[in-house]
Structure 1
Amino acid sequence: MASPAVDDYLKTIYHHTEWQDDRITPSQLAAELGLAPSSVTEMVQKLAAQGLVTHRPYGPVSLSAEGERRAAAIIRRHRLIETWLVREFGYAWDEVHDEAEVLEHAISDRLLEGIDDRLGRPRFDPHGDAIPDAAGHVHRESFVVLGSAPAGHVGRVLRVSDRDPELLRAVESAGVAVGAVVTVTDASTLRLVTDDPAGAVDVALPAAAGQAVWLSA
């Protein structure tokens, strides 16, 4: 069942529990993929038969050990390609997702290894998402989502979700980048203080950033 469609299912299941613990339900999976629930149910049954997921009727879906390995491998490809496009070709971080979706199925393992070596074996992509190593292992720090961080919380920006290109552009325009040290000054309006050479700068982010920006705990 090696196919882009299968990989998309496995990636979506992997992504769902990457930053929280609740397993994905078939209806959530259908919504994420933009597919009819009946189509998703049929595919989940096929994936279970292949030993890639575990699932019981009407229950949530989890990756098996083999499904996790395969999902990590395709995510590794995607995130290395995103990093490559930003560093080597000058793509903005809101432009790389769709390109990587195409290229992740096209490049050889040899080229992927060359990209990883050239980039210095990065651990994170431009959005702060962890890049699995060749064995599928990742390292993540303890984190708090911006909207749940109390006023006065100090941390580094670990990740900005790449789901909304417009939000990515707004965050970038505000001068907030992955790795920046920030202080939450008003959690209700999502205002941050960032460090720059001119001193602390008070910036405001869109309300949607509350569920799209991850800070170190």
Structure 2
Amino acid sequence: MRKSVANYLKAIFEASYLQGGTSNKQIAELLQVAAGSVTEMVTYMESEGLVQRQKYGQIKLSSAGEQAAWKLIYRYRLFEVWLSKTLDLPLLKIPNQAWTLAAVNDELLINRLNIVLAQPTHSPFGGCIQIDERATDELQVLAQINEQQVLTIHSYLEQPDMIQYFQYADLHLGQKLQVIDKNPELQVIALQAADGQKYLLNWRLARYIYVFNH
């Protein structure tokens, strides 16, 4: 598979996760490329049967595209576990290294790695390593949670700014929080832990944090 196509499969998967679709702008933001480049690649991927265009310019993976994306994500997150668990690499360095290693498509090697790692179910960032339809049905995007609702952090997108925010704010997977304010004008969401600790998130980050809503 062309490396650029793999990058776009991953980006579309991440941008549309739990949201049914994504946009040229959102893909461009994740990949840090021009919107015109996204349009060109999406057109190519559509011709290859990997994506579908929906109403209002929304883009989503086709069944074939989703299957191809999950194969990449499986290898990617498996290598994330290996880099974290075996090499104890700092979280901030793991995603780029894991994505480079995910280009290795040797079935025997991947199966052996899965066994050596005791068949992990989640990456260090909480992402499911294999398709988990039950978890997908129960999860929600933090940005969509209403005020006063209580939630538990399940996973988050392993972008550098997100990893740094979690580390600086001392947020962690499994943490229970309450949404105490949503301000559309300022584009921020205020959260509070049971001990009174408060956190302020911008909406862009909140789009890529996945939670269980209680």
Q: Per the shorter chain, which TM-score range?
A: 0.7 to 0.9
Distance 1:146 1:63 in 2: 22
How far off is 1:210 after superposition? 4.5
**16, 21, 24: which one pairs with 2:22?**
24
Which position in structure 1 is the counterpart of 2:104? 106
**148, 155, 159: which one pairs with 2:151?**
155
Distance 1:105 1:29 in 2: 21
* 1:168-193 Cα distance to aligned partner (Å, 9 max, x none): 2442354432123x242734673432
Q: Give the CA RMSD over aligned residues.
A: 3.0
The structure in which a higher percent of residues are helix is 2
Provide structure 2 residue ranges, at least 5 long, that are not aligned to the other structure. Answer: 183-188
Distance 2:53 2:75 in 1: 26
Distance 2:121 2:19 in 1: 20
Alignment of 1:190-209 (within 5 A): 190-193=190-193, 201-208=195-202
Which position in structure 1 is the counterpart of 2:180? 186
**83, 96, 110: which one pairs with 2:94?**
96
Task: Work out whether residues 18 and 141 of structure 2, in 8 Å CA contact, stay in contact via their aligned partners in 1.
Answer: no
How far off is 1:80 after superposition? 1.2
Which position in structure 1 is the counterpart of 2:126? 128
Provide structure 1 residue ranges, at least 5 long, that are not aligned to the other structure. Answer: 195-200
The residue type paired with residue 109 of structure 1 is E
Task: Work out whether residues 12 and 32 of structure 1, in 8 Å CA contact, stay in contact via their aligned partners in 2.
Answer: yes
Change (3 A) 1:120 1:41: same
Scaled by the length of structure 2, the TM-score of the pair is: 0.78
Distance 1:128 1:183 in 2: 17
**24, 40, 54: which one pairs with 1:42?**
40
Q: Report which of the two structures shows the higher radius of gyration computed on alpha carbons.
A: 1
The residue type paired with residue 172 of structure 2 is A
Change (3 A) 1:58 1:143: closer
The residue type paired with residue 192 of structure 1 is Q
Asked if 1:143 is matched to 2:140, the reply is yes
Task: Work out whether residues 91 and 163 of structure 2, in 8 Å CA contact, stay in contact via their aligned partners in 1.
Answer: yes
What secondary structure, in the 3-state scheme, does the structure 2 residue paired with 1:168 have? Answer: helix
Distance 2:12 2:43 in 1: 14
Asked if 1:176 is matched to 2:171, the reply is yes
Task: Work out whether residues 170 and 206 of structure 1, in 8 Å CA contact, stay in contact via their aligned partners in 2.
Answer: no
The residue type paired with residue 214 of structure 1 is Y
Task: Work out whether residues 123 and 130 of structure 1, in 8 Å CA contact, stay in contact via their aligned partners in 2.
Answer: yes
Aligned length: 204
Change (3 A) 1:66 1:185: closer
